[in-house]
Structure 1
Amino acid sequence: MSDVTTTAAPTAATAAHTLIKENQTSGIAIQDWTILSHKTSILNSQEIDAASADLGIPIPEMIFGNNFLSIEHKSGFKLEFKALPALAMVDQSSKSSDLIKVSYAREWFDKRSMVNQEHITDVVKPYDWTYSTKYSGTNASVSDNMQFEVTTQEAIDIEQLKRPDPILFYDENILFEDELADNGTAVLTTKVRVMPSCFFILLRFFLRVDDVLFRIYDTRVYHQFGTNTVLRECSSRENSYRDTRALPDQGSVVEVAHLE
């Protein structure tokens, strides 16, 4: 799914920019945009208790609740990526914890019976214990006219992103991560890169439940300098653990270095 929002008319595109580095925040100012990535330590015990009480669920083992990635245009358009709003979208319905267990019951219980059957009760909880979230960012724009809407007329320019243009700014930010009681991993991360002609953001939720499934929710945000639109594309992929592991090997290369 793709959607688009409109900003104020931009100035002519140039490579002029200013890098930003202030304590735990890095970023870039370019073409009437300010892009910031803030990284700090995981939440302390008091912050964890407050966040868990507010969300109504236990939060992931490693929760970087004060981390964020933000993009802001001088027109007032602003898009942020944070952990707690993402966790607020985790399913807390009465049967949410059973969804994966029901769909893959045989694989799940076969695996558990070989290891520690009692451990299943530690995993299955009254919420989506995989922390799966289709969060695609928080629109904090000053105007309702800057909200995203579905479009079939525009798409992210993949060919432009493939060009070997210089990267003026790049950063990766972890929002949360959990090892699912040693049964896999769930992680939400952001990546941003800024080139002289455009910027591109990838927000990815990645889930692996061992011997059960793989799941990826991706949000891509793209803006070409010199235009007045921001594109956002959301996609999802899921496959069983067994089928993914069975994918054919694409070949390997063996290299050697000789020590004299």
Structure 2
Amino acid sequence: MASLHSLIKEGNATGIRINDWTILSNKTSILSSHEIDKASADIGIPIPEMIFGNNHLTIEHSSGWKLEFKALPALAMVDQSSTSSDAIKVSYAREWFEKRSMANQEHITDVVKPYDWTYSTKYCGSLASCADHQRFEPSTTDTIDIEQLKKPEPILFYNENILFEDELADNGTAVLATKIRVMPSCFFILLRFFLRVDDVLFRIYDTRIYHRFGTNHVLRECSVKEDSYHATRAKIPRSRGDDLSLLLDSNWIASVLPDREVHMQRADLTKSE
């Protein structure tokens, strides 16, 4: 089906208007020191080295339904329980944790506050606006149409946006980023939290958003993948010899990690289709 669309360029934001949707991706620089201090105080933990707190991806339907992807709400979901900092161990994790806390949180009374230093977050987007009947239902039998996504359609709009990144004091990497592609028939969003702790583990939290134009619902799939570093490394094809570059490729890692959890959700944009 033909899709009426127009591209958007507004300051730091680019996007597309298509059918009943407005999609915008805002990209700007990392937070200033003042913004970092405020964000850290508000959230209660030292925040990642590279924090793009003003970046966001938003999708908005003409009905008023609006979904956003932002860094600070994602970081607010990082575990701050009393044992969270001990969940994953590396040789000097505690020392790094305490130094990082002291360096970034001098204005907080309880300086050495426990938190998950890997910044693992199961954040799957924020519903900025919706009616009660438009909220994501906790389960659905619907699935994302993978075959539709494989069709060789023109890509009307594509964008990648990093929300935060941290090298975990040279122990690995933690990255939260979005990707979106809009085709004439549908749009697809991937929000991915990717974690590599060297010699310990790999972890991926993926959120996939899918909408086919002409339907009145949005699908959201949330999945958890995790395995040990060594089990994942053992899956590198022997033909690559000592080449470990695949361990830096989140797409390859996602293809070999086992699923631990998968949840499908559906949000209806109108009361009935």
How far does the alpha carbon of each residue in 1:54-80 deviate from its partner, in whole angstroms, 9 at most, with x for none? 000000000000000000000011000
* Distance change >3 Å, CA 204–CA 92, structure 1 → 2: same
Q: Name the residue aligned to 1:160.
A: 148
| Maintained 8 Å contact 1:141/1:147 | no
Q: Does residue 42 of structure 2 align to residue 45 of structure 1?
A: no
| Maintained 8 Å contact 1:14/1:31 | no
List alignment gaps of at least 5 residues for structure 1.
Answer: 1-12, 102-107, 253-260
In the TM superposition, what is the alpha-carbon distance from 1:149 to its structure 2 partner?
Answer: 0.5
- TM-score, scaled relative to structure 1: 0.84
Q: Name the residue aligned to 2:95.
A: 121
* Distance change >3 Å, CA 248–CA 67, structure 1 → 2: closer
Which protein shows a greater Rg? 1
Q: Where does 1:192-211 land on structure 2 (aligned, <5 Å)?
A: 192-211=180-199
In the TM superposition, what is the alpha-carbon distance from 1:206 to its structure 2 partner?
Answer: 0.2
**Bigger mean CA deviation after superposition, 152-161 or 187-196:** 152-161
Q: Does residue 102 of structure 2 align to residue 146 of structure 1?
A: no
Q: Does residue 21 of structure 2 align to residue 36 of structure 1?
A: no
Instruction: Flag the structure with more relative contact order, 1 or 2, with Cα contacts below 8 A and sequence separation at least 6.
Output: 1
How far does the alpha carbon of each residue in 1:4-62 deviate from its partner, in whole angstroms, 9 at most, with x for none? xxxxxxxxx52220000112100000011000000000000000000000000000000
Percent identity, aligned pairs only, is 72
User: Which amino acid is the alignment partner of residue 55 of structure 1?
Assistant: I
**SS at the partner of 2:85?**
helix
Structure 2: distance between partners of 1:228 and 1:14:
17
User: Which amino acid is the alignment partner of residue 122 of structure 1?
Assistant: W
Q: Name the residue aligned to 2:2.
A: 14
In the TM superposition, what is the alpha-carbon distance from 1:82 to its structure 2 partner?
Answer: 0.1
Structure 2: distance between partners of 1:37 and 1:18:
15
User: Which amino acid is the alignment partner of residue 10 of structure 2?
Assistant: E
In the TM superposition, what is the alpha-carbon distance from 1:248 to its structure 2 partner?
Answer: 4.4
**SS at the partner of 1:160?**
helix
**Which residue, out of 18, 24, 44, partners 2:12?**
24
The size of the alignment, in residue pairs, is 226
Q: Where does 1:1-260 land on structure 2 (aligned, <5 Å)?
A: 13-101=1-89, 108=90, 112=91, 120-123=94-97, 126-249=114-237, 251=239
For the aligned residues, what is the CA RMSD?
1.4
Moved >2 Å (runs of 4+):
150-153
In the TM superposition, what is the alpha-carbon distance from 1:153 to its structure 2 partner?
Answer: 2.3
List alignment gaps of at least 5 residues for structure 2.
Answer: 99-111, 241-273
